[in-house]
Amino acid sequence: MKPALLLVAPIYAPTQARLESDYRVARWYDAPDRAALLAQAAPEVRVAVTSGGAGMKAELIGKLPRLELIACFGVGVDAIDLAAARARGIRVTNTPDVLTDDVADLALGLVLATVRRIVAADRYVREGRWLKGPMALTGRIKGTRLGVVGMGRIGQAIAQRAAAFGMDIAYHGPSAKPVPWRYEPDLLALARESGVLVVACPGGESTRRLIDRAVLDALGPAGILINIARGSVVDEDALVAALASGRLGGAGLDVFADEPRVPAALLALDNVVLQPHQGSATHATRGAMGQLVLDNVEAFFAGRPLPTPVT
């Protein structure tokens, strides 16, 4: 008999189709009667598959006494209760590396779109305002100081791209990395000296509201914040207030505190570029992420080492 598996949230459709053909999948997210689903699945489910956004709460982990693996479709595991998993010896896998380039590309897209006001300029043309006169001049990419918060896989890919554009790069994080860019141990100092600050660190409790009013004020009226990490890393109320009052110059945001809900105030601002969490959302990358999920689940059932465990 095929092994049982709990699917906590929907994932990339072709990957989900493969899971549903290779395993007996109990779909938690759309079960009409979750208690009945658990009563049937819990005695045999050893693997749960979830998305980075949905994660897995301690409560659900607690209802699966035989759970041994949580395979996450996504690199960010901040929505999984890792402490609850660790306490039971449940292993967790994610999908690192394969999405790095696409997320970095989107980050650079947001840097270009905000500094050169590409989306605002598109509106300028569409609304016929060009017929009445030229658009205002914009900032320049080359020579602008880019501060990267979190010089990990994605942070480094962003820095490589920004370097090719002639940006001047520095970064902040818990420790200096063996990279060719300047380490700044003080986040406020990095924000003060940056024209653009890109957030690329993990979400979760340790980084909650790391980008607060003080950081936004240090970035200042000419500064731009780009967030492709997690909405939780930025104090969204402080961000909206800083943008609306002109204390912050602009923002490019792929992630939000309460996705897919975006504060109405942000929708009304011309100096903000918004994305519906699209960092890894290309066919190629979603396929590669799905393959990693399949590989981890298969390795688990075969008793082989997990390809991409979260350590």
The number of C-alpha atoms within 13 Å of 237 and in the hemisphere containing its C-beta is: 0
* Catalytic (active site) residue 182: no
The answer to whether the beta carbons of residues 236 and 256 sit under 8 Å apart is: yes
Shortest Å, Cβ 287 to ligand NAP? 15
Q: Closest CB to ligand NAP among 81 and 254?
A: 254
Q: Is 172 considered catalytic here?
A: no
Q: Establish whether 277 is a catalytic residue.
A: yes
Sign of the alpha-carbon dihedral angle for 164, 165, 168, 170: negative
Q: What are phi and psi of 111, to 5 degrees?
A: -60, -50
174 contacts ligand NAP (rule: CB under 6 A): yes
**97 in the Ramachandran plot: left (φ > 0), alpha (ψ -120 to 50) or beta?**
left
| Three-state helix/strand/coil letters over 13-59 | HHHHHHHHHHCEEEECCCCCCHHHHHHHHCCCCCEEEEECCCCECHH
Nearer to ligand NAP, 59 or 205 (CB): 205
Q: Which of 20, 127, 259, 298 is catalytic?
A: 259
The single residue of 230, 286, 298, 304 carrying the catalytic annotation is 230
65-104: contacts with ligand NAP (CB under 6 A): 75-76, 96, 99, 103
- Cα torsion through 157, 160, 162, 168, rounded to 10: 130
Residue 5: which of 66, 62, 80, 51 has the closest Cα?
66
Rule CB under 6 A: say whether 151 interacts with ligand NAP.
yes
List the interface residues with ligand NAP, window 224-253 (CB under 6 A): 228-230
User: Binder to ligand NAP among 203, 223, 249, 290 (CB under 6 A)?
Assistant: 203
Closer CB to ligand NAP, residue 106 or residue 141? 106
Residue 141, both tokens: 């990419």
Count of residues engaged in binding ligand NAP, rule: CB under 6 A: 31
Cβ closer to ligand NAP: 195 or 279? 279
Please report, as ranges, the residues that interact with ligand NAP according to CB under 6 A.
Answer: 75-76, 96, 99, 103, 149-155, 172-175, 200-203, 206-207, 210, 228-230, 254-255, 277, 279-280
